[in-house]
Chain A
């Protein structure tokens, strides 16, 4: 793998910053969105000359934390210290003034202007700036940090990597001392990524502090000085790079395996095949073979972004897979979806509860009708009364709070909304259930409820569970398949101790 060559050469080491006080300290930061705790009592120190990698699954709270550092949100509890002094950012301007800058995944540049103009845009100074001088200043700055770019080029002609360099230059020009990169390599080619790393090293040599958000393990291994791992809103571990022995070690630390909850799993009779994927290559996936039978739970685990989403979307009809590769309940994909009925069919419980599984501005009755409306049709008419009665029953049975069926989807907390989605999808009596991160962001009691319901559902259906939480996979699944780079690395029973212990390695793309 060429990507693993990114190790930091000795000459790139930043020296002379040992024992420096932290530039920025986060002190006991807590941020809640409704009942969900996105960040829980997080403390973190950022030192000059060091690269701190922030690692975590989607929804672990990385973006929330960094948005507070960049002044976009305010913490509910805790505070930020700059150079040992407490500060209070009320907007991103304050943060920039304090020397904190963020490079987002989506660039904010004026396409029709030159690189130099973009860098100086919005800067104080004379009204008329000599273009030559502007370009000279930017050229000088770029050279200092080994960012190769032509200051007179139009932004619209640049590659993604070059545009990113312009964003970085903007921050450097504003004399940012802490630079936060939100998954910066997602838009880059491997070569460009390596050049970005060289620039990051150059920044640390000049005493800047870099925060690198990613879930690409090899990059973190290659460039970080220390790694902070976020799980469920908590800092799970903060370790120095030297303490991490391998990618697999890092993967294990990231997904964790500690048991937060145990559920009883009774045996259920295994029935017919409800999902079969045969040698599928395409839509970002390679050689996928997968089988789910009625009565079993098959878990797909892996670091986010390794093809799980593509697989789920392919199976659930959100994108078109290649012909005759996916069979649902014995029918080829196209035939299945053409003939699909509302019940005794397939249910999809997506990761995105609001705005995909439910419509935020509709009430619970309408949201129930979203995927069951065919069941409440009488000719061209829709039986709202009957639907309201069923909604009432489901709300009662699943204890969805607040217990009003006229509540709008967005007014429900994540856990209650998920219960409603689950109630609806199980009401459809599916034979195949695809559940994507079904307990992400839920508290323990809601998690337990969702787990029990899914296990209960095995009596009528086969379950394909996609999760970033290894504990969840091991608790629920009969079989586990590990995905890496769009492939299934291996698939085995959860009782196969030896294989289960190798999940970390498999997730990192290592086959023994």
Chain B
């Protein structure tokens, strides 16, 4: 095209990865600025407000850190599945099930001391989330159902299930008709670290991030997951239990998203209500890709996308941009990063 063509590189352009990511970010912010101008708003002011809201104040930094907790856990989960080329798009639903599981424990045993109740909530959240991820895994293995579609559709079912519970069986009689559960007892609420707004859920993130990194790097099972991601035929040649591994990665994925749901319900809103579903599970997919599935980079990109969310909220307040502007920016970033990855394996050369 136009005298240029694509040629495959002999070696992947590894040191070009940061360039590609920065380039993709610049491109998506450029397009966002253009969109602001189209709405008749000043693009410069818009990006300034966005920056202010994201990084310009201590409350913004803290807010972003809080939001990055559930995003990080969901992203860590989907990255595990992605590494095996199992496309789990269902972190959102698994997150919802985790919140449901934790809430069930919190409402059923409100009088247990925190030291017993809290682990119980995490266990329930993990089991519920893992179960939700197990369904598409089994469907894929037994009936060759494409997991992209089944995980995505299960998200909607999960959200409806959550609403059904909150509007019905678990509705707080003292809520004046609002769809919320009773507030959790103190034993079911994750406490703050010191006198900051940051809560101990952050420690869970750090712990599971390190654990996942070590698992993938040092254990045989981690290695087997990596190999299984290279294709089913190689898995067969290497005598890997491909089906078992698929179930395992989906269960890990679901459990981590479940924990995110548990932490959100317990630490952030102290109860279950429909507004808990704000799309962290979808942001997590963007985060995992930006980070190329590496746990440390997932931490960084989770924070950046959380900051973007906070910044966009600020823009909404100050510039009255529509609420979906954040999703548009997120989508732009994902698309341009994915498209940019082409340059890692291909280069553009002049036609002879």
Contact = CB atoms under 8 A, between A and B. Distances in A.
A377 interface: yes
A348 B219 contact: no
A438 to B, nearest CB: 16
Contacts of B236: 318
Given A381-B219, A411-B11, A348 B237 contact: yes
A247 to B, nearest CB: 34
Interface in A392-413: 411
Nearest to A384: B218
Interface residues of A, number: 24
A371 interface: yes
A369 B223 contact: yes
A361 B10 CA distance: 13
Interface in B219-267: 219-224, 226-227, 230-231, 233-234, 236-239
Nearest to A318: B236
A371 B10 CA distance: 27
A366 B233 CA distance: 16
Nearest to B234: A359
A381 B218 contact: yes
Contacts of A380: 219-221
A370 B222 CA distance: 13
Interface in A347-388: 348, 350, 355-362, 366, 369-371, 373, 377, 380-382, 384
B226 A377 contact: no
B228 to A, nearest CB: 10
A131 B167 CA distance: 58
B-side interface mostly: helix
A182 to B, nearest CB: 23
A240 to B, nearest CB: 39
Interface in A333-348: 340, 348
B239 A317 contact: yes
A382 B234 contact: no
Contact of B237 (A340, A350, A360, A382): A350
Interface in B276-313: none
Given A317-B239, A359-B227, A362-B227, A370 B220 contact: no
A377 B236 CA distance: 20
B60 to A, nearest CB: 40
Interface centre among A359, A360, A361 (most CB of B within 10 A): A359
Interface centre among A348, A350, A369, A371 (most CB of B within 10 A): A369
Given A348-B237, A370-B237, A377 B230 contact: no
A370 B227 contact: yes
Contacts of B11: 411
- Shortest 6 CB-CB contacts between residues of A and residues of B: A359-B230, A382-B220, A370-B238, A380-B219, A359-B234, A377-B220
Given A370-B238, A381-B219, 10 more contacts: A340-B239, A356-B237, A359-B231, A359-B234, A361-B230, A366-B226, A369-B223, A377-B220, A384-B218, A411-B11
Interface of B: 10-11, 218-224, 226-227, 230-231, 233-234, 236-239
